[in-house]
Structure 1
Amino acid sequence: MANPTIVHHSTALKVLRYIKGAPSLGLFYPTDSPLQIKAYSDSDWVSCPDTRRSVTGFCIYLGNSLISWKSKKQKTVARSSCEAEYRAMALTTCEINWLSYMLQDLQHSSFTSALLYYDNQYAIHIASNHVFHERTKHIELDCQQFVNNVIEV
């Protein structure tokens, strides 16, 4: 976004032409879908060759419909893939909490517990063990909210 090029401009035009040419396509939210939030979280450790920062990605479904998604570089350089995954889980949990509060504001407080799916066994261990170890103390301040609101799968 800081330095757009001609390639970026032509790609944006392709996206706009697609949207204009397919007005009937869109996201479908069926009324009979269960009100359960399901989230999938992942990270790509040290994926940026310039900054060595990891990329967090998540998608969140309400029932069978996609309602939120994000792919973003993490703010700090992760020391391990476990740390990058843990930070991705923390960001996803914050988004789940926000969506849950929004659903409560819309008078939909009768939905079931949210599920968070992730694939790193070490990050799962850190999330389920609330005592920070010597090697994970540097994550404690950044992810404290997640630790207090961990959602077990």
Structure 2
Amino acid sequence: MASPTNNHYKALTRILRYLKGNHGQGLFYPVNSSLHIKAFSDSDWATCPDTRRSISGYCTFLGDSLISWKSKKQTTVSRSSSEAEYRALVLASCEIQCLTFLLDDFQLHYTQSALLYCDNNSARYIAANGVFHE
């Protein structure tokens, strides 16, 4: 935003044309929604048949409204599903941290701590153990 280029302008006009042409579509953010952040994290262990790398994904909600999501192939090969899930947790927790900083910048005060859901007990045990990380 400090030094926009022609490529930024082209991207902006493309987005505005899309929004103008799609009136009825969008994400709904109700006014009475709470400022409670929830995130759901998951990974698919060794999905890529060529590289054996896993895919991480998360979706983040503010109240009942979806505000961010991502699916990305992991940069390294995980040796277990627990390790792949832990990497997905790290990705989601970084997103939660950024969102809490954003809420602080907007001076929106949230009363509850963010929740991060994971479906792998081993990854949760690794995350809870602040001492033993290989």
For the criterion TM > 0.5, the same-fold answer is yes
* Structure 1 stretches lacking a partner, 5+ long: 1-17, 138-153
* Structure 2 stretches lacking a partner, 5+ long: 1-17
The amino acid of 1:120's aligned partner reads N
CA RMSD of the aligned region, Å?
Answer: 1.6
The amino acid of 2:57's aligned partner reads G
Listed one character per residue, the Cα deviations across residues 51-79 of structure 1 (whole Å, up to 9, x for unaligned) are 11000010000001000000000010000
Q: Which residue in the other structure is 2:127 paired with?
A: 127
The amino acid of 1:27's aligned partner reads L
Q: Give 1:129 deviation, angstroms.
A: 1.4
Q: Which residue in the other structure is 1:64 paired with?
A: 64
Give 1:65-144 correspondences, 5 Å limit: 65-132=65-132, 136-137=133-134
Listed one character per residue, the Cα deviations across residues 109-140 of structure 1 (whole Å, up to 9, x for unaligned) are 234210000000101111111121xxx41xxx
Partner secondary structure for residue 39 of structure 2: strand
Q: Using structure 2 for the length normalisation, give the TM-score.
A: 0.82
Q: Using structure 1 for the length normalisation, give the TM-score.
A: 0.72
Q: Which residue in the other structure is 1:30 paired with?
A: 30
Partner secondary structure for residue 124 of structure 1: helix
How many percent identity over aligned positions?
A: 61
Contact kept, 8 Å, 2:47 with 2:53, in 1: the verdict is yes
Q: Which residue in the other structure is 2:7 paired with?
A: none
